A and B are shown apart, each in its own frame.
Chain A
Amino acid sequence: MLRIDTAVALLVALVTLCGYLPLAPYLGLFPRILLPAALLFGYFFRRRGYRLPNWLVTVCGLLFFLFYALQVSRTNLVGPAADLLILFLALRLFGEQSGRHYLQIYVLAVFCLSASSLFSLDSMFLVYLLVMLPALAVSLVLLSFVAVDPDAALSRSAMGKVLRTAILIPVGAVPLALVFFVILPRTQYAMWNFLNQQEGAVVGFSDRVQPGSASSQSEVKTLVFRAETGRLPDDRLYWRGIVLNRFTGTAWERTAPAGNGLPVGGTDRPVTVVFYPEPTKSRYLITLDQPLQLSGIRSDRTGDAVYLQSYGRAVRTRYEVTALPGARLEERAGARMESYLQLPPGYSPAIRRLARETAAGARSGREVIDRFERFYRSNGFRYATSGLPTDAHPLDTFLFKRRQGNCEFFASSLAVLLRSAGVPARLVGGYQGGDYNELGGFYAVTEDRAHVWVEADPDGEGWVTIDPSRWAVNADERVSRPGPGLYARIRQAADAVEYYWTRTVIAYDLEKQIEMVRSAGRRWSGVRLRVPDMQNMAMVVVSLLAAAGAFALRGRRRLSREERLLRLLYVRLRREGRLPADHAGMGLFRLAERLGDPVVHRFAERYGAAVYHDRPLSSDEYKGLRQLIRQIGNGASGDAGRNVRSRPDDA
């Protein structure tokens, strides 16, 4: 015999883990440790009956609540709430446990899992949910046995039957949940958006570039966004984020941009890219250089083709960008370009001299750029992420002494040189390149691909993209490429799963709901059935009906006419609610006697006269007997509504 409470205890631990694990990375140290301790305590001491008394659990709960309530603010709400949930869960595990307490644990575990969605939108959530759901179902079913009999124990076979029935709940619930997920009403804007405190990704680009602020650059492989599009040439993969237009002498910053550029030219056709960014606190939306338009999210476009997410934003993690890779960004006539020549007064005489000397005699801005490219290439500049200049004049050190630095040094130095030479220039921050996922058909761009490059308007024909980092002697080594090995393939497959998760679940919203209804309507209205289609459909329907009929009639084929009559009689009596439960082993005459119905008596006599004398029924007899069956219950005392019959009163 299997004790039910033992099985319930195991399932409680599983449900608790499903609530705890997704939330664990975002918890404070104390709750993070206390819950596993409570689980271990439960495991080792449950049999010995050691439990914290309920009053102590309540007092501790109150103290925890007060402690965390004092930490809550509008900006710090979800963190303390998550800590508190886990602490309540741990306290419950330390305390006494009965059916009611188990239910409390389940509710807290579901809350914990739900709270984890406010921190992370990872697809592992689905895994935890799919484990928790069957565990909850089986556990609740077993608890209903405990509620009836606290010491209930079931044999192995009985437990098997219970589990088989219990497992029907999650098996049936999963497809139904998908339907509910699709049809549950969404709103256009979320009022409690402040609760969605997903881990803000540390964006690789910032609104301030300060070369020389650190001696090395960390390279984090955290995903920043996925961009669904076809394969593009590597030199077209410049993911635009921010434009920095003011140089302070030590850093590049962003001020209100002058002008209003529109992409023109370029060698490629417009490309549509669907972006699925990871949660970030940054308002800058990544686009593909040069962006024509952005849709699917409320945003503002500035004059330098930078997109900012509007305030009061919807929870939306998908937007679409149409871009012209390799195009120029042409300013409208009369745009004030002087601000793009700004340099701090008296800034680096050496750099200004180098700019003057290099640009001397050049006939166009384009030629100036070419001369600077030659300067970089001929002087053996190296791309490096460590050993970066950190002195008072880092750009001077980079250009004239060390000649090694990261993209910030290359881009900053070139922009300063161009401005010194009278060519309008600015820095663009974003990402370059990306790992193309063949399975999903998208680029996965990670933090280590953060990049800064230069835009210059050499001859008033529009801003062109210049990436001086490509002029480094070791430019090809700048970004490590994933190898073709098994690990890389597995990672790609996992990333594709995550991508589809984001695309289908995370990014599902009101717009998609409306679109789904519209497209269903369009498809329906667009259905024009041709004769061959209708014939095929009719064949399919007839085949299905035939299969269903064969299934329903299986086993009836072998029945004789006499057997069919008996079955009809039983069906009729059952419909009337008068068929005794033990009719199976009961003779026809006994049945008639039991029921006391004259019609059934007549049936038994006529039927018995033929069948019990080994004589087949004649057609007339058969018809007569069918007629009798039809008469059963007509005008007889009504038993409708009673689903059972008892034996006649013997007392």
Chain B
Amino acid sequence: MALTLLLGFAAVNTGNNLLFLVVASLLAFMALTGLIGWFNLRGLEVEIVPPDEIYSGMETLVTFRFTNRKRWLTSFLLSAEFLGSSTVILLADRQSACSRSVPCTFPRRGRHAGLSLLISSPFPVNFFIRRLQCGFAETVTVFPAPIPFRTVSADAGRERVGELLRSANGHDGELARIGDYSGREPLKHVHWRLSARHDALKVKGFNATGTEPVVIDLETLPARTTDEAVGRAAYLVNDLMRRNRPVGLRLGDLLVPPGLSRSHRLKLLKELAVHAAD
């Protein structure tokens, strides 16, 4: 820019047309680089693909899928910045997509809305950096960071942290009862002989053979703040379910019955994530 201005000043004052030619070329050069820089960030779409489990304060890899929708031009030197971390894509081919994972840390638990990725590029010449803010409509739920709960072992702490419920229905325990077929039971549980006798389908009910279920009550957890309690609860959820123990959750009036599946665990963590702070 300074070079062009200086030469332009010299051209006007000397009336030298060759200097005008140089100045005209430099101006055209700047215009073209600006235009190509603008095109470089145009037609880019970014999709955020967060991992299933994100814990506050813990580094995680968030994946972004970049799609260059331009028909003719490849995009170059894209630097994507997300929550203070960045990644570089040297080249994003036209009409194609690529993925990059960015290590980042969410500082607080809860629903994170209005997330955005800042894409910048010095292309084509490193004089100016163009930026593009890509916003995401979806929210990302960040679970509370688990706070290890050493006082609670698998058995010793169970009375302190929850209450024992009656045995839940299961598949591989002792025969506990005979009931009507509700349509949800597997066919192998149908008691054919009884069914024939009663003219209706009867199924065998079994006790579960797993460990005793636990319902975590946030208010009974030893913690000074809600956040600390939530962190300990998250630790318990993960720890107990890893030990194959069904876990439920009581959050004030809300009671989530115990369960053992992965989706159940994520549901509990989600509830903990959005639980109001103090």
Give the B-binding residues of A (Cβ under 8 A): 99, 107, 110-111, 113-114, 117-118, 121, 125-126, 129, 133, 136-137, 140-141, 143-145, 147-149, 152, 154, 158, 161-162, 165-166, 168-170, 172-174, 176-181, 184-187, 189-193, 195-196, 314-315, 505-509, 578, 580-582, 639, 641-651
Contacts and interface: CB of A to CB of B under 8 A. Distances in A.
A178 B143 CA distance: 61
Contact of A196 (B16, B135, B141): B16
Contact of B74 (A125, A161, A181, A189): A161
A177 to B, nearest CB: 4
A180 B77 contact: no
Interface residues of B, number: 68
A169 B18 contact: no
B88 interface: yes
B15 A186 contact: yes
Q: Which residue among A113, A149, A642 has the maximum number of chain B CB atoms within 10 Å of its CB?
A: A642
Interface in B1-54: 3, 7-8, 10-29, 31-33, 35-36, 44-54
B80 to A, nearest CB: 12
Contacts of B13: 187, 190-192
Nearest to B73: A165
Interface in B255-278: 266, 270
Contact of A147 (B25, B73, B126): B126
Given A117-B16, A176-B31, A176-B32, A148 B21 contact: no
B54 A173 contact: no
B76 interface: yes
Interface stretch (B117-125, B151-159, B186-194, B235-243): B117-125
A121 B50 contact: no
Given A114-B7, A114-B19, A176-B31, A645 B136 contact: yes
A15 B90 CA distance: 26
A151 to B, nearest CB: 12
Contacts of A111: 3
Contact of A110 (B3, B8, B52): B3
B25 A177 contact: yes
B32 to A, nearest CB: 5
B15 A647 contact: no
Interface string B43-74: 01111111111100000000001010000011
A193 B50 CA distance: 66
Contacts of A509: 15, 17
Contacts of A582: 47, 65, 97
Contact of A645 (B26, B47, B51): B47
Q: Which residue among B3, B20, B48 has the maximum number of chain A CB atoms within 10 Å of its CB?
A: B20
B140 interface: yes
B135 A644 contact: yes
- A-B interface, 5 closest residue pairs, ranked by CB to CB distance from nearest: A117-B18, A190-B15, A180-B24, A176-B28, A315-B15
Contact of B28 (A173, A185, A195): A173
Contacts of A187: 12-13, 15
Contacts of B24: 177-181, 184
A144 B88 CA distance: 13
A161 B48 CA distance: 27
A144 B123 contact: yes
A174 B28 contact: yes
A144 B50 contact: no
A144 B15 contact: no
B91 interface: yes
A177 B4 CA distance: 13
B244 to A, nearest CB: 23
B17 A581 contact: no
A118 B53 contact: no
Given A165-B36, A651-B140, 16 more contacts: A125-B21, A140-B125, A145-B76, A162-B91, A165-B74, A165-B124, A166-B124, A170-B29, A172-B35, A173-B29, A176-B27, A181-B20, A505-B21, A580-B47, A643-B44, A651-B266
A136 B77 CA distance: 19
Contacts of A184: 8, 11, 20, 23-24
A111 B135 CA distance: 45
A141 B124 contact: yes
B139 interface: yes
B165 interface: no
Contacts of A650: 50, 52
Contacts of A141: 123-125
A505 B17 contact: yes
Given A177-B21, A177-B28, A147 B122 contact: yes
B33 A162 contact: no
Interface of B: 3, 7-8, 10-29, 31-33, 35-36, 44-54, 65, 67, 73-74, 76-77, 79, 88, 90-91, 93, 97, 122-126, 134-143, 266, 270
B14 A192 contact: yes
Given A173-B29, A180-B28, A506 B36 contact: no
Given A145-B77, A176-B28, A169 B122 contact: no
A506 B50 contact: no
A144 B125 contact: yes
A184 B67 CA distance: 41
B33 A169 contact: yes
A143 B125 CA distance: 7
A620 B65 CA distance: 40
13 contacts: A114-B7, A114-B18, A141-B125, A148-B122, A165-B76, A176-B27, A179-B24, A581-B45, A581-B97, A643-B44, A644-B47, A644-B134, A649-B138
B91 to A, nearest CB: 5
Given A114-B19, A177-B28, A651-B266, A158 B90 contact: yes
Contacts of A166: 124
A651 B15 contact: no
Contacts of A129: 21-22, 25
Contact of B126 (A118, A140, A176, A506): A140
Given A180-B28, A193-B15, A314-B15, A639 B47 contact: no
Nearest to A125: B18
A161 B75 CA distance: 10
A649 B137 CA distance: 10
Given A169-B32, A177-B27, A148 B125 contact: no
Nearest to B124: A141
Contacts of A648: 138
A121 B16 CA distance: 9
A621 B44 CA distance: 35
B91 A646 contact: no
A187 B266 CA distance: 75
A141 B139 CA distance: 38
A647 B16 contact: no
B270 A190 contact: no
A192 B48 CA distance: 60
B125 A315 contact: no
A641 B136 CA distance: 10
A99 B16 CA distance: 31
Contacts of A162: 76, 91
A148 B14 contact: no
Contacts of B76: 145, 162, 165
Contacts of A314: 15
Nearest to A176: B28
B18 to A, nearest CB: 3
A172 B14 contact: no
Contact of B47 (A144, A148, A581): A581
Contact of B23 (A121, A180, A191, A649): A180
A102 to B, nearest CB: 10
Contact of A169 (B3, B19, B29): B29
Given A180-B24, A580-B47, A642 B16 contact: no
